[in-house]
Amino acid sequence: MAPSALVETAPVVDPFKVRQNFPSSQSADVQFNPAKHLAYSPPSKILAMKDLALEPTALSPIATTEPFPLLSHEAVLQHRRDLFSKDVLDNCLHHTRPGSVQLRGMAPRYSPFIHQFWHSPEVLKIVSDVAGVELVPAMDYEISHVNVQLGSGGLDAVRNTPVEPPEATEEAIKRFEAEKPKQQAVTDQSKPIIEWHVDSHPWVCVVMLSDARHMTGGETELMKGDGTTLKVKAPQMGCAVLLQGRYITHTAAPVTNMPERVTIVTSFRPKNPLLVDDTTNANVRNKSHLTELYYQWTTYRLEVIAQRARSALETLQERYAKNVAESDPEGRPGLCKVETVSQEEIQKWCADMIRYLQDTTHEMRLIGK
């Protein structure tokens, strides 16, 4: 779908110090290098689902983490360099709510680096170890989904987003707050950046690409099982938060004292095709090019179906070989008199596969249905 029409806005006056932008020509040849682009340290605290008064899921007992370092400064710059390139802004920008825009589907076509980063064994090991289950990107389309909070310059100002994040010095914050027409309470959810929701994918990794040293607001707020809420502080630049977002209702508070909040969200699903897969397209169909999204969606689902069928086949073949070896004096197949196929078992497998197929087509229904 095409982005909404641009609104007329006054030119933005950036109160933050902005350093020179990098030439876009530097992007094409940059290759992911874990020694250069990772700055990982384990999270200082991990919250379990039980800490939120929620039951552990079939995937993991882990709910979320405190922010932890993940991207080096150079990796932050390369993400921003690619994400705010002309190609991405021309082809991947969607404007679905007044306060923000989204950039989606840039990897690998417009950003080989971002694709390499989030598919790298090093990053996947970090994410999987923290989550307690082996994960892979849900689809390429769900790599580095970008949420950009709009400032006073509106949509037009997004095209002027610098590669080097504006420095959030205390003086710059004071100047920005003095120029704002009015203050907004951090707890005001009347115009949240993202409404209360659950994610389309089992796990999300949220990374901050802005200087958030003095940021007010921007927290992720989680709905607990007892109806109360818990705020998880926003990550600093280059830091990440991992969240089992398909199973936890959450929202994001607006930032009240900065003209820029750029976060990226990479979504993950279990690598093991036999694990529960509750992935949907519920939150992304209205902000995607559906021809590409549905191709990636269908091929990933068919791959899971093929792997599940192969696993069922191999299980039956192994069971049959065991039955033959134990029951036939000559150990020869072809007339095994021991039951290999459990009717109840195969009926359940078929019913599960039918539901999975039905869910696959349901998630490609018309927008608004």
CA torsion angle 111 114 117 119 (round to 10) = -80
Nearest Cα residue to 140 out of 293, 285, 279, 30: 293
The reported pLDDT for the residue numbered 173 is 62
Residues in the chain with pLDDT values less than 50: 1-26, 183-190
> Residue 207: which of 76, 30, 102 has the closest Cα?
76
Task: Give, for 19, the enclosing helix (H) or strand (E).
Answer: none
Nearest residue to 266 via CA among 132, 161, 131, 359: 131
Give the C-alpha separation, 194 to 101, whole Å: 11
Is cis: bond before 98, omega within 30 of 0? no
pLDDT at residue 193 in the model: 56
Please, what are the domains in the chain? Answer: 24-287 (2.60.120.620), 300-362 (no CATH)
Predicted pLDDT of residue 367: 84
How many Å apart are CA 332 and CA 334, to the nearest integer?
7
Q: Using one digit for the tens of pLDDT, what is the confidence trace for 156-169?
A: 889 999 999 988 76
Q: Using alpha carbons, list the distances in angstroms from residue 342 to 203, 225, 233, 333, 349.
A: 34, 39, 51, 19, 11
Question: Which DSSP helix (H) or strand (E) runs through 85?
Answer: none
Specify the pLDDT at position 355. Answer: 97
The C-alpha atoms of residue 40 and residue 264 are separated, in whole angstroms, by 17
Distance CA 110, CA 92 (A): 9
**pLDDT of the residue at 218:** 78
> E-strand spans in 121-202?
135-137, 145-149, 194-197
Tens of pLDDT, residues 294-338: 999 999 999 999 999 999 999 999 999 999 999 999 999 999 999
Contact 205, 124 (CB under 8 A): no
Burial 34-55, CB ≥16 within 10 A → b, else e: eeebbbbeebeebbebebbebe
pLDDT for residue 336: 96
CA distance 235 to 232: 9
Residue 148 to residue 146: CA distance in whole angstroms: 6
d(CA 77, CA 144): 14
The pLDDT value recorded for residue 89 is 96
